Structure 1
């Protein structure tokens, strides 16, 4: 009975954490979409989404970073309570935590707009961008591997790998377009789109996870 009650408690905790993460990611998606209407002067093809943090309505983009950070933190905690205990699972969860911290750094240190003087804040933001992208990309791979070893997650591994391949595609496209004259802004938005798809997919699965 005690073991059963403990299991129900962990399940309730996982659902609560997944719900929190889902709320954060929904806010992030709505905020980012809204910024495209609030700042039509930022051409999507030639501006990273980070540029929205500079100038009018910059606070909206700042809250986007913070919402993503909180969402990753809640998701990492939820995945841990769901029973992912393999080495790959633990490493994937750890990398989500790394990205969560990195997103706070991105929020605190705004980027430099193209053509503006380089600043220490912009340099730190660029470094955090690389950490965030790399951490989440590696986390998606490691967690997809770990899903195959956990009974409650095994049926989700196919979807997880499809979403991970999309993140890989976005990752490659993003770095191939990091040149002047290339549509790096669109590539950036594609990467964020597939990243959100992965986050929503994993979070929704966590909320509906069957008991083992």
Structure 2
């Protein structure tokens, strides 16, 4: 027997504002990342990580990219917080917050070049890698898709949310699989390229959530 869907409170204006902030900063971080490819052509996008743009002349833009994503991710989570009513959804929100905290750390501490050996990493580089390792945003999005899908208001876009969350999950698997066994990066390694698509793919979920929050507010769903 199918579980009964959960009826949630009407979408508030605060949620609407948060969703707009999420979408705007989400578009901003992807746009700035694309701009960095033009400003810093010396970084081969196939194997150099996006974090390394922070080491270039326009490095401050990479820090803004990370910070913009943090704002976008947290705003996205807060915009749906009132609609999350399941344990799976709450776990998703917690993981989303942890991921945002990790990217915030990565924004503050610049990375070392990807060619730096483990024994030569700087304190900043170690902190950056620690922060980046906390980014489980794809998992958070998947759990949120399941959690929100249990409600009446979000059931119509459940499949779309799951697809939007599945894309970064698959890209994460591809990213890990593309890592060279000896961790020696160079031409012929495509981890950097996959990482770019992965980071940009978060925007799909963010846009989908933002669009539906605005739709719910406009239609007065559940009011």
Please say whether Structure 1 and Structure 2 have the same fold, judged by a TM-score greater than 0.5: yes
Matched, 1:127 2:130: yes
Give 1:69-108 correspondences, 5 Å limit.
69-81=70-82, 83-108=83-108
Contact 2:139 2:169 in 1 (8 A): no
Which residue of structure 2 lines up, in the alignment, with residue 109 of structure 1? Answer: 109
Which residue of structure 2 lines up, in the alignment, with residue 142 of structure 1? Answer: 143
Aligned equivalents of 1:187 and 1:20: distance in 2? Answer: 27
Contact 1:147 1:156 in 2 (8 A): no
Which residue of structure 1 lines up, in the alignment, with residue 200 of structure 2? Answer: 193
Which residue of structure 1 lines up, in the alignment, with residue 3 of structure 2? Answer: none
Aligned equivalents of 1:73 and 1:191: distance in 2? Answer: 18
- Residues 77-129 of structure 1: CA deviation (Å, up to 9, x unaligned): 11113x21211111111211111211110111111113344212111211211
Name the Cα RMSD after superposition: 1.5
Matched, 1:11 2:12: yes
Task: Identify which range, 30-39 or 89-98, moves more after superposition.
Answer: 89-98
Contact 1:69 1:103 in 2 (8 A): yes
Count of residue pairs the alignment pairs up: 202
Q: TM-score with structure 2 length normalisation?
A: 0.85
Aligned equivalents of 2:76 and 2:200: distance in 1? Answer: 18
Task: Identify which range, 93-102 or 44-53, moves more after superposition.
Answer: 93-102
Aligned equivalents of 1:207 and 1:120: distance in 2? Answer: 43
Which residue of structure 2 lines up, in the alignment, with residue 65 of structure 1? Answer: 66
Contact 2:32 2:61 in 1 (8 A): yes
- Work out which structure has the larger RCO, using CA pairs closer than 8 Å and 6 or more positions apart in sequence: 2
Give unpaired runs (5+ residues) of structure 2: 1-8
Task: Identify which range, 83-92 or 200-209, moves more after superposition.
Answer: 200-209
Aligned equivalents of 2:104 and 2:142: distance in 1? Answer: 23
- Residues 39-61 of structure 1: CA deviation (Å, up to 9, x unaligned): 01111001111111112111100
Q: TM-score with structure 1 length normalisation?
A: 0.89
Aligned equivalents of 2:27 and 2:114: distance in 1? Answer: 29
